[in-house]
Amino acid sequence: MANIYDTGLDKNAANYVPLTPLSFLDRTAYIYPQRLSCIHGQRRYTWKETYARCRRLASMLEAKGIGLGDTVAVMLNNTPEMFECHFGVPMTGAVLNTMNTRLDAETIAFMLNHGEAKVFIVDREYAATTQQAIALAGRDMLVIDVDDPEYTGPGERVGSIDYEAFIAGGNPGHDWQGPSDEWNAISLNYTSGTTGNPKGVVYHHRGAYLNALSNIVSWGMPPHAVYLWTLPMFHCNGWCFPWTMAANAGTNVCLRRVDAKLILEAIREHKVTHYCGAPIVHSMLVAAPAQWREGIDHKVSALVAAAPPPAAVIEGMNQIGFDITHVYGLTETYGPASVCAKQPEWLSLPLEDQVRLNGRQGVRYHAQEGITVLDSESMRAVPWDNETMGEIMFRGNLTMKGYLKNPKATAEAFRGGWYHTGDLAVMQPDGYVKIKDRSKDIIISGGENISSVEVEDILYRHPAVMTAAVVATPDPKWGEVPCAFIELREGASVTADEMKQFCKERMAHFKVPKKFVFEAVPKTSTGKIQKYLLREKAKSTTAIE
């Protein structure tokens, strides 16, 4: 039944505009045309210049026939061009598909075809694989090369035109239009599925807008941050930070590769105030020689996510004086959609407790409506007892549109009105979510669940350990037992027996790894440990029990 507020009060051009994060770029370029938007090696751009470059790109793409619902794929590092693609591509109505730069040609070809890419923008560094991928895909595409002066390694151009030459022909004042519907897709992010084909996660303008603001509000980011790009922009669109930085009117400090020395130099030189990354990034900074940090005396705030951060990382960051906040999310939730919100009273607790409390997955982001732990089948909430395991679920506006051309996987993921993360967790008595494991990473030994994360957390406390990964390996007696892969710190050495003893003193005996393997641990480019490789290895390993 209509009420008085439903009559004569409709949407019109003056009072309703579909949400889009592109609007933040327009605002910042208008208000702060001369502020630095990007620093990359010797290059500097102002917001006015960046906006003009994005509009040039958009106008040229449109001239090539790109528009609503077309896909533009890119394989780029954290360069100004990558940042520009986050605006120039969706300005046309097209969808940005950022690809992981470590992918092999076959996977790239799969994505190009599945996403139906019409344009492919490629950094010269990836010439070899992309050339192969383009041949494999057999698609009719416009291929554009990025030849970054900061890159001096091998790689021929593979496309028909250079990015700079391409946008040079564009219109810096191009009159782009925002989406007619905020539910329109803005980007496509393939998950690095460990089995089967990757799934294409689709984001919309509404969610990108809301997470751009939520990053600011949930982190408490002040205006005009200096943000260092340690996190790849190809990963969940850099957790939406390209759009956040446009709203924040800050400065992007670009970085082609993650390297402790380069990061610390950039922090010192450009007075970086904020950065994000997987635990491995922070570990590297903690492990770096102290003299590399000399001269950094301003406040640096960091977000950590992408994998549960070992307590040792949080503790180490504390020790070097960086303020670290733990966020949690998945590709399906625009990157971070929950935060381990800090409580003032934690500050008076022993460091160990602070570290434990700050290492949780926490509570919902401002713009996400819910995070909870439910029984996957009954969809009933687990008690807040820190014991009963369930699956972490999200709902709200920071949840993907769905998986591209995969209604079955989409329906499965959204079963019961919640997005099922596949992560197992408990709810702690203060209502904070604490992850225990990925469903597939849990180790079931003699009927008992062993959280690999919990065991790893203890392993990280050993001074010789740089990286630790625990996986299940079949056992005739127990069904499964834990097997630990350890990457040692430079110059450190330790035996399996010593590690076992170390564990026995700190955990229930059934949780102590039965095997220890000392070698480099394989990781994805975003720092995630590739446990599926380790599981294979654990089966065949001859490591001493």
Nearest distance in Å: CB 101, its own copies: 24
Helix axes 496-504, 452-459, angle to 10 degrees: 110
- Asked whether 100 and 525 are in contact (CB, 8 A), the reply is yes
395 lines the binding site for its own copies (CB under 8 A):
yes
Nearest distance in Å: CB 493, its own copies: 44
460 lines the binding site for its own copies (CB under 8 A):
no
Instruction: Write out the DSSP string of 354-378.
Output: HHHHHTS-BEE-TTEEEEEEE-TTT
463 lines the binding site for its own copies (CB under 8 A):
no
Nearest distance in Å: CB 337, its own copies: 11
Nearer to its own copies, 19 or 311 (CB): 19
Q: Which one among 163, 394, 460, 516 touches its own copies, defined by CB under 8 A?
A: 394
Residue type, 358: N
14 lines the binding site for its own copies (CB under 8 A):
yes
User: What 3-state DSSP class applies to 186?
Assistant: strand
Residue type, 199: K
173 lines the binding site for its own copies (CB under 8 A):
no
334 lines the binding site for its own copies (CB under 8 A):
no
Q: In what order do the strands lie in the sheet with 419-427?
A: 368-374, 390-396, 419-427, 433-438
349 lines the binding site for its own copies (CB under 8 A):
no
CA 71 to the chain's CA centroid: 21
247 lines the binding site for its own copies (CB under 8 A):
yes
Query: Quick one: which segment of 168-176, 182-190, 280-288, 481-489 binds its own copies (CB under 8 A)?
Result: 182-190
6 lines the binding site for its own copies (CB under 8 A):
yes
Q: Which one among 180, 197, 343, 501 touches its own copies, defined by CB under 8 A?
A: 343
Cα-Cα-Cα-Cα torsion 9, 13, 14, 16, nearest 10 degrees, comes to 70
180 lines the binding site for its own copies (CB under 8 A):
no
Q: Which one among 50, 189, 273, 397 touches its own copies, defined by CB under 8 A?
A: 397
410 lines the binding site for its own copies (CB under 8 A):
yes
CA distances to 464, 473, 474, 485 from 538, rounded to whole Å, are 21, 6, 9, 9
Cα angle at 493 between 489 and 499, to 5 degrees? 100
Backbone region of residue 187 per phi and psi (left: phi > 0; alpha: psi in -120 to 50; beta: other values): beta
Nearer to its own copies, 109 or 339 (CB): 339
- Partners of 177 in beta bridges: none
> How many Cβ atoms are within 10 Å of 12's Cβ, its own excluded?
7
Query: Quick one: which segment of 54-62, 83-91, 96-104, 392-400 binds its own copies (CB under 8 A)?
Result: 392-400
Query: Quick one: which segment of 228-236, 266-274, 410-418, 481-489 binds its own copies (CB under 8 A)?
Result: 410-418
Query: Quick one: which segment of 14-22, 117-125, 230-238, 514-522 binds its own copies (CB under 8 A)?
Result: 14-22
Q: Which residues from 36-75 bind its own copies, rule CB under 8 A?
A: 68-71
Nearer to its own copies, 264 or 367 (CB): 367
Of the candidates 267, 268, 295, the residue with the CA atom closest to the CA atom of residue 281: 267
24 lines the binding site for its own copies (CB under 8 A):
yes
- Which residues lie below 8 Å from residue 210, measured CB to CB, with a gap of 6+? 19, 367, 397, 398
CA distance 407 to 179: 24
> Tokens standing for 251?
């400065």
Q: Which residues from 506-545 bind its own copies, rule CB under 8 A?
A: none
Cα torsion angle, 278, 283, 288, 293, sign: positive
Query: Quick one: which segment of 37-45, 272-280, 363-371, 513-521 binds its own copies (CB under 8 A)?
Result: 363-371
CA distance 317 to 296: 14
User: What 3-state DSSP class applies to 142?
Assistant: strand
CA distance 31 to 447: 62
Long-range contacts at 342-346 (CB < 8 A, ≥ 24 apart): none
Q: Which residues from 196-225 bind its own copies, rule CB under 8 A?
A: 202, 213, 216-217, 220, 222-223
Q: Which one among 176, 419, 485, 502 touches its own copies, defined by CB under 8 A?
A: 419
CA 324 to the chain's CA centroid: 16
404 lines the binding site for its own copies (CB under 8 A):
yes
407 lines the binding site for its own copies (CB under 8 A):
yes
Of the candidates 488, 483, 24, the residue with the CA atom closest to the CA atom of residue 223: 24
Nearer to its own copies, 141 or 529 (CB): 141
CA 367 to the chain's CA centroid: 17
405 lines the binding site for its own copies (CB under 8 A):
yes
Nearest distance in Å: CB 90, its own copies: 12
298 lines the binding site for its own copies (CB under 8 A):
no
383 lines the binding site for its own copies (CB under 8 A):
no
Nearer to its own copies, 153 or 429 (CB): 429
> How many Cβ atoms are within 10 Å of 533's Cβ, its own excluded?
16
Nearest distance in Å: CB 210, its own copies: 8
110 lines the binding site for its own copies (CB under 8 A):
no
By the criterion CB under 8 A, which residues form the site for its own copies? 3-17, 19, 23-24, 27, 30-32, 68-71, 95, 116, 183-185, 202, 213, 216-217, 220, 222-223, 247, 341, 343, 363-364, 366, 369, 394-397, 399-402, 404-407, 410, 413-414, 417-419, 431
